[in-house]
Amino acid sequence: MPVLLDGLERLEYRGYDSAGVAVVSAGEGLQIQKCKGRLRSLRDKLDSLPPLTGTTGIGHTRWATHGEPNDVNSHPHVSQNGRVAIVHNGIIENYAEIKQFLLQQGVRFRSDTDSEVVAQLLEYCFDGCGDILDAVYAVLERLEGAYALGILCADRPDVLIAARKDAPLLLGYGDGENFIASDATAIIRHTRRVAYMEDGEVAVLTADSAAVFDAYRRPVEKQIHTIDWDVSAAEKGGYAHFMFKEIMEQPEALRHTISPRLKDGQITFGELRLADDFLRRMHRIYLVACGSSYHVGMLGKYNLERFLRLPVEVCLASEFRYSDPLVDENTLVVVISQSGETLDSMAALREAKARGGYILSIVNVVGSSIARESDDVLYTWAGPEIAVATTKAYSTQLAVLTMLGLYMARRLGRVEEAEYAAVTAELAVLPEKLEKVLACTDACQYLASLYFNREHVFFIGRNLDYALGLEGSLKLKEISYIHSESYAAGELKHGTISLIEPGTLVVALATYEKLLDKAVSNIVEVKARGAEVVALTTESGRERLEQLATHTLVIPDTHPVLRPNLGVAPLQLLAYYIALHRGCDIDKPRNLAKSVTVE
Ligand code: F6R
């Protein structure tokens, strides 16, 4: 139980609608406890009961898909005669059909979940064949959809079985103990030696052995990887929230991302396989991602088109796969993902691959599914990101994407020497400049105290500032629950400006001197309708903006393509302090989960 509960605590950021554990022992059989709410509710419940005993167990925290978050729908799910218990991530798409079949066989269901059919079908098959592994293979053959499964059987208390398809799952090899987990953070206290399960694989673990089989039940030799980051990287280390810690870690994360790839003013990506021949025939680039990673793509579009003079499409992963995308063997598809497990992005990657595209992914989690299925991968090296709202992963993705654009442009001879030198010089000092921005938390704290009780906030900006506003707005709404939108400032007059009324808070992003006059005009327009304006600008824009805006936040001057890397920090801090004032659960906002492994 301590191993399970500690592991769940480290994974809770991935889903927190409910929590549950099951342990199995020869004497007691299967023992299960689960309940709605956070892990602490489960801990309270367990404290009031006699201890569960056993050394084989599974645990789960849920992000509800089928069936509301309540005690019964929590995992683990148990078969009707209590012989099998399972935990499941993913969605069983044909669950209704399987349920119908089992109901006809007289099986009684308890929950509204898709997952319960796995437990019930397993017991049904186990009753038929008498061997739990045979039963697992029979069940997997009938399942459609995505799953990472952990399975216990009362008749085999020494055994834990795991199976994977389209949902993350890894094995941990210990000394006299073995583990399964959806993320290494859950088991790093016990072992650093892990192997990533592939689709179709089934693992049979005991305390002393870990055998893996493929979909045809042939033994598989797994490659063992050693996790090289320290357990403290996934701990709060004295900070009140992971989000604040991760905001503050951004300069260091950027150093890790940039410095090994920037030598004597030259960008080098030693890890890239991207061939000259492909680069020369590349005629289109797609940037594909979800959420904040998509916002990185929005910024990337401006920068990559500037450097490469090639059409760059930025596409939401969930839309891309159903849009009959124009991908061929001369298309570069860049998939951006912190977790490397986002199912929408994974599905888009496969769609692009099937159409012949060259897949380069920008990923934070080493060994994740997206990284493994790509032709090339650039890791962001931001370290584990625990807060649900991304910060340091966003910043490092942005730096990698900008560097990638510049690097490809250089190889193709499309970037002027002066521009290349100017950007690389600024990249080298970006971490220090970001440190300066982060030293001024007071201003954001003060603004948060003024504006935390607003119902609506608007972000406006043009070009890179518009794309940056999308991220500022998402940060604010996801953690503070304030309704917020980001608009291309030039679009206001085409409809949106009707939303502005006396006292409306408008965050005006004006970091781009080429468009400063336009930004100023848009600020004047919203002020004329009574808006209060917080402006974000650079040192060179300070004087003009201070005369105009209600409040002004200032970032150091840097090359224009890198400004969003500095500008994002005050927006993250503003969202953080506003959420703090409102008493929100900052690291685990309602209805969200860190790794979105369902479609
Ligand atoms: C927002 C946030 C999400 C993720 C999105 C994609 O703060 O974190 O919008 O950016 O779910 O996740 P990854 O990057 O893991 O594919």
Q: Which two three-digit tokens encode residue 4?
A: 């399970």
Quick check: is 93 in a domain? yes
- Ligand 1 centre to CA of 389 (Å) is 7
- Helices 392-411 & 250-258 angle (0-180, nearest 10): 30
Contact 63, 57 (CB under 8 A): no
How many domains are contained in the chain? 3
Question: Does any ligand 1 atom lie closer than 6 A to the CB of residue 52?
Answer: no
Mutate-to-test residue for ligand 1 from 247, 335, 342, highest number of ligand atoms within 8 A of CB: 342
Quick check: is 232 in a domain? no
Quick check: is 598 in a domain? no
Mutate-to-test residue for ligand 1 from 246, 288, 293, 476, highest number of ligand atoms within 8 A of CB: 293
One domain, residues 164 and 208 = yes
One domain, residues 357 and 486 = no
Question: Does any ligand 1 atom lie closer than 6 A to the CB of residue 397?
Answer: no
One domain, residues 395 and 256 = yes
Residue 219 C-alpha from the chain's centroid: 32
Other C-beta atoms closer than 10 Å to the C-beta of 413 total 6
Quick check: is 589 in a domain? no
- Ligand 1 centre to CA of 129 (Å) is 43
One domain, residues 473 and 356 = no
Question: Does any ligand 1 atom lie closer than 6 A to the CB of residue 74?
Answer: no
One domain, residues 411 and 289 = yes
Select from 227, 253, 279 the last residue of a domain: 227
Select from 193, 227, 261 the last residue of a domain: 227
One domain, residues 39 and 180 = yes
Question: Does any ligand 1 atom lie closer than 6 A to the CB of residue 169?
Answer: no
Q: How far apart are CA 597 and CA 599, in angstroms?
A: 7
Please give the number of the atom of ligand 1 that sits closest to the Cα of 370.
16
Quick check: is 112 in a domain? yes
Quick check: is 169 in a domain? yes
CB-based contacts of 236, cutoff 8 Å, min separation 6:
242, 245
- Ligand 1 centre to CA of 291 (Å) is 5
DSSP 223: P
Domain that holds residue 461: 442-581
Question: Does any ligand 1 atom lie closer than 6 A to the CB of residue 182?
Answer: no
One domain, residues 41 and 176 = yes
Question: Does any ligand 1 atom lie closer than 6 A to the CB of residue 571?
Answer: no
Nearest CA to ligand 1 atom 4: 291
Nearest CA to ligand 1 atom 10: 292
Question: Does any ligand 1 atom lie closer than 6 A to the CB of residue 342?
Answer: yes
One domain, residues 431 and 460 = no
- Ligand 1 centre to CA of 517 (Å) is 34
Quick check: is 419 in a domain? yes
pLDDT digit string (tens) for the chain, length 599 residues: 999 999 999 988 888 899 999 999 999 999 999 999 999 999 999 999 999 999 999 999 999 888 999 999 999 999 999 999 999 999 999 999 999 999 999 999 999 999 999 999 999 999 999 999 999 999 999 999 999 999 999 999 999 999 999 999 999 999 999 999 999 999 999 999 999 999 999 999 999 999 999 999 999 999 999 998 877 788 888 899 999 999 999 999 999 999 999 999 999 999 999 999 999 999 999 999 999 999 999 999 999 999 999 999 999 999 998 999 999 999 999 999 999 999 999 999 999 999 999 999 999 999 899 999 999 999 999 999 999 999 999 999 999 999 999 999 999 999 999 999 999 999 999 999 999 999 989 999 999 999 999 999 999 999 999 999 999 999 999 999 999 999 999 998 898 899 999 999 999 999 998 889 999 999 999 999 999 999 999 999 999 999 999 999 999 999 999 999 999 999 999 999 999 999 999 999 988 888 787 77
Q: How far apart are CA 365 and CA 383, in angstroms?
A: 8
**Residue 129 half-sphere exposure toward CB, CA atoms < 13 A:** 14
Question: Does any ligand 1 atom lie closer than 6 A to the CB of residue 345?
Answer: yes
Mutate-to-test residue for ligand 1 from 338, 346, 480, 587, highest number of ligand atoms within 8 A of CB: 338
Nearest alpha-carbon partner for 150 in 126, 111, 179, 175: 179
One domain, residues 559 and 469 = yes
One domain, residues 360 and 378 = yes
Question: Does any ligand 1 atom lie closer than 6 A to the CB of residue 387?
Answer: no
One domain, residues 403 and 353 = yes
CATH of the domain at 547: 3.40.50.10490
Quick check: is 154 in a domain? yes
Question: Does any ligand 1 atom lie closer than 6 A to the CB of residue 349?
Answer: no
Question: Does any ligand 1 atom lie closer than 6 A to the CB of residue 293?
Answer: yes
- Ligand 1 centre to CA of 561 (Å) is 22
The dihedral built from the CA positions of residue 63, 68, 74 and 78, taken in this order, carries a sign that is negative
Q: Which two three-digit tokens encode residue 238?
A: 């004295």
One domain, residues 431 and 293 = yes
